[in-house]
Structure formats: C-alpha cells, structure tokens
Amino acid sequence: MTKSTTQSLPNSAPSTDDPFLWLEDRTAKQSLDWVHGQNEIAVGELQGDPSYQASFQTALDLMTAEDNIAVGAAIAGHVYNFWQDKTNALGLWRRTTVASYKTEKPVWETIIDFDQLAAKEGIKWVFSGASRLYPDFSRCLLSMSPDGGDASEMREFDIETRSFIEGGFRAPASKSNFGWLDEDTVIVSAAFEDADKTESGYPRVIKLWKRGTALEEATPIFEAQKDDLAAGAGVEFDGDKRHVFLARAINFFASHSFLHLPSGENRRIPLPDDATDTSLFKDQLVFGVRTPWTAPDGTVCQPDGLYSLDFAHWIETGSFGAIEILLAPAHRVSIAGLARTQDRLFISLMDNVRGKVLVCERRDGVWSMKPLALPENGTVGISHAEHFGSSVSFSFTDFLTPSSIIWSDDDGETLETVKSQPARFDAAPLISEQFEARSKDGTMIPYFVVRRRDQKGPVPTLLYGYGGFEVPLLPGYAGVRGRLWLEKGNAYVQACIRGGGEFGPAWHQAALKGNRQNGFDDFAAVAEDVVRRGIATASSLGIQGGSNGGLLTGVSLTQRPELFGAVIIEVPLLDMLRYTELPPGASWMAEYGDPSKPEDARWLSAYSPYQHVRAGAAYPPVLLTTSTADDRVHPGHARKMAARLQEAGHDRTLFFEETEGGHGGRGDRRPQAAQTAMKYVFLQRALSAKA
C-alpha cells in the first residue's frame, strides 16, 4: 500500500458491520474455543522457535532472581514487602525491621505465604494490598484477587498472629474498597450490588460497617451519581487530627471532595473540579490545578504549580483564607507526585522527563523548600514516606543504570543507598540519548534512544509508547529488555507523546478526546525521525504498547502500516465505537469521548482501529495479547481485532490470551515470563532480516 493511500485511511468510511460480537462473551464456550485455537497457533509458532526456551528461562530467572531489590515501606519500625521468586510463585507478604532491611541480607518474617494459602483453599490468590489499623498497625483489611483481576475479596487479618480473624470483617470479591475508621468500624466504598455501582462498575455508595453486623446492614453516608466514575473514601491523619474525606469522582480528571464532619454533614471542599496533587500537611491543604483557577482571594492558580490554604481555618469558618504559592510553574517542569512524613512534605518533579525531589517544611506559618541531593539525569521516585514517622526512601534508575533505593531515617537530611540491583546486562557498549521529532502540527516531541555507541547502520529497533491519562513514560532500567533485546545489538526507543503526563496537564489535554490524533501523529513523527537518523529502517522498526498504548499501536497499524515492520498490541482498546459497552469502558469517556454522541462518534470513528481494518492493506506482522481475567480492558477488543484481521486475509496476525493475571499480568511470574519471551521472539523474527 502506498503512503498516500495509508494516510487517507482515517478519513475513509469505516466498516460498521460487526460479525465478531460473539467474541465479547468473555467465558462462553464458543469464545473460549476460538481463544484456545488461536493460542495453539501462537504458542506453536513462537514457543516453537529455537530461541524461545532460552529467552523464557532468562526472563523467568530475572523476574524471580533472589537478588532483585525488595522494595518496601516502613511502618512502626518494620519494612513491609511483597516478594515473588521461583519457590514462591504467588508470593510472600513479609516484613523485617528497618535495621535489618538496610543490611545485605535482611531477616524476613513471612506474614502470609500465598502459595500455601492457594494449596489450602484451592484458589490462586493474588495479593492486592492491605489497609492497616492506626495506631498499632497490627490489624489489617487484606485484599486478595482470585484471578489477578481488579475484583478482590477482603478479610480481616492479624499480622502478629499471622491469622485471619475468626468472625472478623469479610467481604466477597468485588471492586469495592475498604479502610478503617476505628477498630470496630470499616468505611466501605461499595460495589457489590448493581445499586451500589456506577455505570462503570466502580463503587457509588460509601457506607459505615460496624463490627458484628452484616455487610448488608452497613449505613450509607454518601452517594455519587450513577454516571460518575466512582465514589471513594479515606481517613487522613494530620498530627493528632483525624479527618474523613469523601470524594465523588465525576471522571478521571474531575471530582468533588467532601469532609465528613462529626455531625454527619458532608461539607464540600470548594476547590475546582480539576484539582490535583492534593495533600494535607500541618493544617495546610496543598493542591494543584489542571486548568487556571482564580481563588476567592484573587490568587490565580496555574497548572504545574502548587498552592496551599489554611484547612483548619476553612473547617472553622467555612471559607478559604489567603492562598499561598508553594511552587510556581516552570517551563517543561511537571509535578509527579506528593508524599509526606510526619514533619516534611516531599514534591517529586519531572524536569524535561528527568526526576528531582524537593523537601518542604512549614514553620511559624511560613513554607521553606530545598532540593534533595539525589542522583541527577535519571528517574527519581519517592518509594515510601512514613506518615507517622521520619523515614523516607527514594528510587533512582535510568535506561542503563540498575535501580537503587536511597534511604533516610531523618526526613531526607541524611541519605544512604541501601539497595542496588546488580547489573542484568552489559551496558558498557550502550548509550542513552534524548532527541526530538517534529510532529505534524510543529510540536517538538521528545524521545529516548538506547543503542550501541558504535552503531554503523540501521538495526532492529523497538519503539514503545503510551500517550494517555496523564501517565508519563520515564527512563527505567529493564534487565529483561537488556538481555533479550539490547545485548543482541538491537535498539530501544521510548516516545514521550502528547496525551501522557511528561509535561503536565497541558501535554495531556493536547491529545484529549477530539485531539487524540495529535498523539498518533506524534508517534508516527518519532518513527519517521528514528528512520531519518539511520537508527532503523521502516521494515526493521517494531512498535509495542499496552492498554491505551495498545490503542496507540492499533491505530498506528491501521493508519501508517508502511512505517513499521512489526506491531505488538497488548491488552488494548480497539473498538472505540463500542468501548463504553464493555465494562468498565464508560469510565474513560473523559479521556476519549462518548460514542453515543454524534460529535464524539465522528472523531472516534475516524481512528477506531477495529473499524479501519482493510483487506487490501499491506500490514506488517501483528501480535495481539490479552487476558481472560482482565476486568479493566475487556478481552473482546483484542479478540475481535485479531478475528477481523485474519478474516481480511492478514495471515501474519497472531493472537494469545492468558487465562489469568488480569490487566497488569499479576500473579505467577511463569506465564508473564513466557509471554515476554514470545514477544521478543516475535520481534526478532519479524525485524532481523529487514535492518
């Protein structure tokens, strides 16, 4: 297919008939028979490749290595960690003392062995987190998924006795959330019955559940609208003050927050709907905004800045006082997140996609701030901050530097590297560079390239992208990618396209809803720039993306197939005219639009990959992956796309569906390692002869 023809595809009439609706039935025999048949073909071709077994073993070894970093959070003198290795496939929830954690070989106490629990109960439980009870933190509300999906069962658990509480709080698997109000009261964000759920399938009603009563008897204290995204609740401590916050999440980017008062009143906190990066610290409510907002005192709050107000004053008077500017916006600097210890607030920033952390104090009504002396020119994250103490830890990595954990017991005053992952591949011959590509509308799009220093000509190259939901793609060390891709002389490219969060809300909004094509154009521009620089040829350039990134690679396949030699589409959205019909698709309308509205349907139909498959198009080889247990992005998207491609004669289309693991592939590492190895085998086969 010629370039001019492929560029015209977004404006051509999409196919509206759908002979593959039956594949949307997640567990019907007909659907699963089709899945098993497809899996057999994909496994036979990819796992049958001579290089597969070694690749699988390498991936599994690295994913389960004993010397991987045990990332943990400190609470009341202990560091808690979830750990998986070859012996513990489903994992251990465990803890050690802070002093022991800092040693080379910590002495861990197992809290729960999930492999033993699975053997006992006959369910492959996947750990989903625990809410611990203040102030002793020895009781918790433990969440476990039966299949790796988002829906989890909750049980009350005693950490000291390592046992579930007989007759304690317990709830069946759902997308509900649980937190402690006090020892005998749980706050439930309920999503059990249809009446409790939003249209997206998330919690709509907040209830108080008293010990000794049935869950059905819990008392409602707050409700969101049926068409909202979700309702949420949480208890926040500020010193010795306990606050109960409730939230009505209208969509991913807008919400109304409330303070639940002792009187029973739910008082709305009058911040703008698109407030973000909120934190309560020393009676100050810190917040940011996604669009400019003029506060009642006349202060103009701008995106990428941070502001604070006297929360205690608002509780007492019901009105905001003066707004203080904590951090002014700066060019290409965005806020990655906030965390706090008892006495300090930490601000994680991205400066041109490179990390840094600021530490703030509040004394005598005045803010002070200084940068932390952390490594530069990489990705810096806040691993944990002890809310009721002074310990805080940070992670550092880049494409060629193994991850490390930098620890402080005194609010960041002294810093010590306590954990460093061993190198997983030979980085000496490699170089990491940052370039920019000019997109269709002239916007400069940054991207990273990792390759051999002495590269003389085009090589097989993997281009990865995401571009949605304000999520940034940051430099990070990946041992599996290093061993299975970079060490073989291949190159890796990571694109920071619009729609993501690399440069704050405006970068995201530039590819929102009807502007989505900007992100797709950005990705194509990076691909063309990579070829122009001689890093790859179009036929030796493969692309990969998952979830929203799967939509990106699906659109890239149907709009610009001539730019690529292989396409991997993981756990994707692909039928954008029906995505709201596949739960929980309705939750994403603030990102993509509503296909039931004619105006939105026009832009969605202009790019929706499923409707733009063409029988005569010269598509490169395609690998689609999904999971039967994915209750976040329905597997019907990937199934139907694979079926339509194959029906249209594109016989180089492979499909593989894992039967467990959910959207993020949680649970046993062996299926994850197998799928990872299959993808690298697919790329190497498709691209190696074309450089």
Q: How many helices (H) and strands (E) does the chain have?
A: 14, 39
Using an 8 Å Cβ cutoff, are 263 and 284 in contact? no
Using an 8 Å Cβ cutoff, are 624 and 656 in contact? yes
- For 558, the 3-state DSSP assignment is helix
Q: DSSP letter for 84, please.
A: -
d(CA 217, CA 369): 48
Q: How many CB atoms lie within 10 A of CB 422?
A: 10
Kindly give the residue spans of alpha helices, DSSP state H, lying in 585-635: 589-592, 598-607
- For 498, the 3-state DSSP assignment is strand
Distances (CA, A) of 468 to 503, 549, 568, 590: 12, 8, 18, 11
Q: Which residues contact 316 (CB under 8 A, 6 or more apart)?
A: none
Structure tokens that stand for 148 in this block: 């790796």
Using an 8 Å Cβ cutoff, are 604 and 592 in contact? yes
Structure tokens that stand for 310 in this block: 């006297």
Structure tokens that stand for 395 in this block: 């992670």
Q: DSSP letter for 473, please.
A: P
Structure tokens that stand for 181 in this block: 């109000």
d(CA 614, CA 77): 60
Structure tokens that stand for 229 in this block: 């995204």
Supply the residues annotated as catalytic: 547, 663
Kindly give the residue spans of alpha helices, DSSP state H, lying in 376-433: none
Q: Which residues contact 3 (CB under 8 A, 6 or more apart)?
A: 562
Specify whether the backbone of 667 is left (phi greater than 0), alpha (psi in -120 to 50) or beta.
left
